[in-house]
Amino acid sequence: MSLRSITMAAAVATAFVPISGAMAQDKTEIQWWHAMSGRLGDLLQQQVEQFNESQDEYEVVATYKGTYSETLNAGIAGFRAGEQPHIMQVYEVGTATMMAAKGAIKPVYQLMEEANEPFDPNAYLAAVAGYYTTTDGEMLSLPYNSSTPVLYINQQALEEAGVDPDTKPETWPEVEELLVELKENGVECPFTTAWQSWIHLENLSSYHNQPFATEENGFAGVDTELVFNGELQNKHIAMLADWADRGLFTYGGRGSDAGPLFRSGECALYTESSAGYAGVKAEAEFPFSVSSLPYWPDVEGAPYNTIIGGASLWVMSGHDDAEYVGVAKLLSFLSSPEIQAQWHQDTGYLPITNAAYELTKESGFYEENPGTDIAIIQMTGKEPTPNSKGLRLGSFDQIRAVINEELEMVWQGDKDPSAGLDEAISRGNQLLRRFEQSVE
């Protein structure tokens, strides 16, 4: 290429820059801060690009802000500095914090109303939307990525231990029998779990229609108190402590840190979020099955429904009405059956609307990928009760940290299960009172 043609090309390029710049300015920009990294982040970005291409009025800019906790902090810092995004993805444990921040958020039902955007709260799965809806039925944030805990089973490990690989234990006593058998037949680590508080206390409670906290698990007021030291929870934690002592249960760390233990084939059974499916499928070099979360058969009416984890989209206050119209359009777009069904099938998160569920059923996805519908059946099988609607607690992330700390001492054998639970409750209640004071 001659110098001249380079100069020409540069001149042409510069001539076009102002035009495309002006075009970008014509579009209303919508900021979306999220916490989805890796493959989930890519899928989110695809949704954004699809939306941006579907119309030419709005330009959505999605920005990854770190973990859920970091994203929430970034949003809070942004709000304090007057630079909050339009949409913020907040994990379910931050729900009470967001709800209490009345001046900082714009409730989704209100946003849709003001923007004249068609919006039917009943289109959403009750078990999912209920988590983000007030007791008066007003939806405050839009469910985005929701999952629920299920049981993953390494079928190869079962087979090698001489157990039928299709075994799917339904109750905890059945699980124990299986674990003992596996251990006797040479499996080093029969069981591990992710998210111990979420699965073995929060979901355990809702699954058996037991309260986790008073005031309908915090839905009815901030003067809620933790009560997860009932007979059932004590029995369950004592069982896990006993398993840890007998080498049936290997503790793999907080959050989903135990994941590698299962995906590498070291542990045979693993309780984890249904959204862990994609990761297990990608990494596991053995056949595995997905089964519903085990329950205690001696509890009347059990199993009830499990509750969700994951995050929802909160709209922040302090922006122009014209921008909010775009936000409303984006939320409608994200709730559309095609987008939701795709998201559900790609990630293992629940479809948030009934239509997306139906669409996935029709496509034959569940037959091709056995186990992917376990989560949704488990969540929607029964009408949610006040104990199984969800949890709405202030400082919840920190309460979970407290529960982690106390449970670790129980697994280590430093503390009795009941003492651990009692201590977690009294420390957690202190945090709840601090939160209550701050929002009054």
x-marked contacts with another protein along 215-254 as a string, rule CB under 8 A: ------------------------------------xxxx
Q: Does 264 bind another protein (CB under 8 A)?
A: yes
Q: In this chain, which of 97, 206, 306, 345 binds another protein, going by CB under 8 A?
A: 97
For 121-170, the DSSP string reads: GGGB-HHHHGGGB-TTS-B-SEEEEEE-EEEEEEHHHHHHTTS-TT----
Nearer to another protein, 30 or 88 (CB): 88
**Binding pattern for the stretch 33-72 against another protein, x by CB under 8 A and - elsewhere:** ------------------------------------x---
104: tokens are 């900082």
| C-beta of residue 19 within 8 angstroms of C-beta of residue 60 | no
Site for another protein in 383-412 (CB under 8 A): 395, 397-398, 401, 404-406, 408-409, 411-412
Residue number, 124 or 411, with CB nearest to another protein: 411
Q: What is the DSSP string of 90-131?
A: EEGGGHHHHHH-TTTEE-HHHHHHHTT----GGGB-HHHHGG
Smallest gap from Cβ 146 to another protein, in A, equals 22
Report the distance separating Cα 42 and Cα 46, nearest Å: 6
CB of 440 to another protein, least distance (A): 8
3-state secondary structure of 289: strand
Name the nearest CA neighbour of 274 among 381, 175, 372, 165.
372
Written as six digits, the tokens of 132 are: 């983000």
Of 418-437, binders to another protein (CB under 8 A) are: 427, 430-431, 434-435, 437
Asked if 413 and 420 touch (Cβ cutoff 8 Å), the reply is no
CB of 45 to another protein, least distance (A): 25
Q: What tokens were used for 125?
A: 């799965």
- Least Å distance, CB 41 to another protein, is 20
- Amino acid sitting at position 117: E
Which residues contribute to the site for another protein (CB under 8 A)? 69, 73, 76, 79-80, 97, 100-104, 251-254, 257-258, 260-261, 264, 266, 395, 397-398, 401, 404-406, 408-409, 411-412, 414, 427, 430-431, 434-435, 437-439
